Amino acid sequence: MKRIALALFACCSIASADERRSGLLDMRPEAQAMQRDDSMNPGMLWVLDGEALWGRKPTPAAQSCADCHGDAAASMRGVAARYPAFDQASGSAIDLAGRIIQCREAHQAGPPLARESKELLALSSFVAHQSRGLPIAPPEDTGMRAVRALGQRIYNTRMGQLDLSCAQCHDDHAGRRLAGSSIPQAHPTGYPIYRLEWQGVGSLQRRLRGCMVGVRAEPFAYGSSEFIAIEAYLMERARGMALETPAIRP
Amino acid sequence: MARVLLRVPTMTEKGSVIEIRALIQHVMETGYRPNAQGELQPRDIIWTFTCRYGGEVVFNATLSPAIAANPFIAFTTIATQSGPVSFTWEGDNGFAQTETRHITVT
Amino acid sequence: MTISRRVLLAAPGALLLPAPTRADQQKLAAALRDFTGGQPMREGRVRLDVSPLVENGNAVPISVMVETPMTAADHVRRIGVFNERNPQPIVITAQFGPRSGRAFLATHIRLATSQALVAVAEMNDGSFWSQRVEVIVTLAACIEG
């Protein structure tokens, strides 16, 4: 009963879009300025790296991303806003980084891209940047429904030695402070992000991993179905909000 | 080569004061941080940044480990003549990089 | 659905400004002396812009602006920024001249903890001007694994 009530509450809060706010607005003005002005945003260095990789063949015999997809400004516009998506071939959900890994393996015969590698983060940043300013628009297909439901279940499940769920901080106490840091509503609007604490760019899964370690839980593996499910749920929860990649966060 | 993001006006009026911004990808490892084994990671920073305009040094800064990773530096200079503006970063472990942009002064 | 009090630490605890030790102060004073060559330093002309409250000490935007026409007769030769409680007291030093147009410098810096920052400008007449600003740094609570 409690869970149904919670789910209903979650639906209601999604419906009133004005209550949702990007973590961008929770930062102090100086940090916001760092994100808004590309010439000060270090995340742009990863975007530029990605742009160079987009046009480069991973091996002399292979095709570059651009050889198939052409100008990313056109072909990748809006793509990041629709991930994670359902991959018919594997019958499971796939996130944007996963799709890039898959593309590299299947079509470029290049060396595999590791999760959180500089190359994969650069390509992900570049692709996601092509959707900056566009509304998050998760696909409506049925395959994703079960994935999101799993994500929502994990989001509401207490875990770790601190016995906390994502929801307990990011729904129940968003806007309040946790030891000097403000608790955001956890909308994944700007990934990959340049996190000041990391002093570099990282993925949403790295951020989720950080949260799990924070509550003293055993983190899920990079690329795991659990992480992709949470990602899918968070994107649904942020439906309609504008993408910001590369975002700055504390 | 480290990725660089420069904001330099391409065209400007003679005598105007222009603001230049430079961002470069670099870890700026302080030399004060322990690694997972508890040993200090050796210092790896950029320690100098120089801007030359038409061959003449118009700005030079000495950096320290207190400069944030991916160093950002902004400064101004007077647009004197059309010509190349070059930026050089030098640091530990033989790090050296130069980028050049062209300014047209009317 | 309440969060335990242990977890939701209130911010004020992190905001208490620990007093700098005598060693910190001496280190800063020595660095300033190195920069000025022991010349007296006056307050004024220098404006050091930095947020008084910083969420994350890893990249703190600062800028320094000095009141001067930047002419051959009246200009800034050097600007130095110093801190009290990082491992090293020096942050950045930069050279200027009439060709600079303005005595302006902006960068992103690291602050290990709440502390004082001092910006000093050396004018072409050999005088030194400065501004000191106290900054409070609140760091993120969750430690990355």
Domains of chain A: 24-38+140-249 (1.10.760.10), 39-129 (1.10.760.10)
How confident is the model over C49-58, as pLDDT tens digits?
A: 999 999 889 9
- Beta carbons of B76 and C100 less than 8 Å apart: yes
Q: Which of A65, A166, A169, A211 is catalytic?
A: A211
Residue in A with minimal Cα distance to B29: A199
Average pLDDT of the segment spanning C44-71: 95
pLDDT band at A178 (very low <50, low <70, confident <90, very high): confident
Residue A179 has pLDDT above 90, yes or no: no
pLDDT band at C17 (very low <50, low <70, confident <90, very high): low
pLDDT band at C141 (very low <50, low <70, confident <90, very high): very low
- pLDDT the model gives residue A216: 95
pLDDT band at B27 (very low <50, low <70, confident <90, very high): very high
pLDDT band at C115 (very low <50, low <70, confident <90, very high): very high
Q: What is the mean pLDDT of chain B?
A: 96
Chain C contact set for B30 (CB, 8 A): 87, 110
- Beta carbons of C94 and B62 less than 8 Å apart: yes
Q: Which domains does chain C have, with CATH numbers?
A: 31-137 (2.60.40.2470)
How confident is the model over B67-105, as pLDDT tens digits?
A: 999 999 999 999 999 999 999 999 999 999 999 999 999
Residue A64 has pLDDT above 70, yes or no: yes
Average pLDDT of the segment spanning C1-28: 60
- Beta carbons of A45 and B3 less than 8 Å apart: yes
Of the partner residues A44, A52, A200, the one whose CB lies closest to the CB of residue B5: A44
Chain C contact set for B66 (CB, 8 A): 83, 86, 88, 90-92, 109-111
Q: For chain B, say whether A250 makes contact (Cβ under 8 Å).
A: no
Residue A231 has pLDDT above 80, yes or no: yes
Average pLDDT of the segment spanning C117-140: 93
Average pLDDT of the segment spanning C18-24: 78
Residue A109 has pLDDT above 80, yes or no: yes
- Beta carbons of C3 and A173 less than 8 Å apart: yes
Chain A contact set for B24 (CB, 8 A): 45
- pLDDT the model gives residue B63: 98
- pLDDT the model gives residue C13: 43
Residue B26 has pLDDT above 90, yes or no: yes
Active site residue A211: yes
Chain C contact set for B73 (CB, 8 A): 105-107
> What are the residue ranges of helices labelled H in A18-175?
29-36, 43-54, 65-69, 72-75, 96-107, 118-129, 142-155, 166-170
Helix (H, G, I), strand (E, B) or coil at A116: coil
d(CA C121, CA C139): 30
Tell the CATH topology of B4-31+42-105.
Immunoglobulin-like (2.60.40)
How confident is the model over A215-228, as pLDDT tens digits?
A: 999 999 999 999 99
Domain boundaries, chain B: 4-31+42-105
Task: Residue A92: count other Cβ atoms within 10 Å of its Cβ.
Answer: 15
Average pLDDT of the segment spanning A2-6: 46
- Beta carbons of A164 and C141 less than 8 Å apart: no
Residue in B with minimal Cα distance to C82: B66
d(CA A208, CA A227): 8
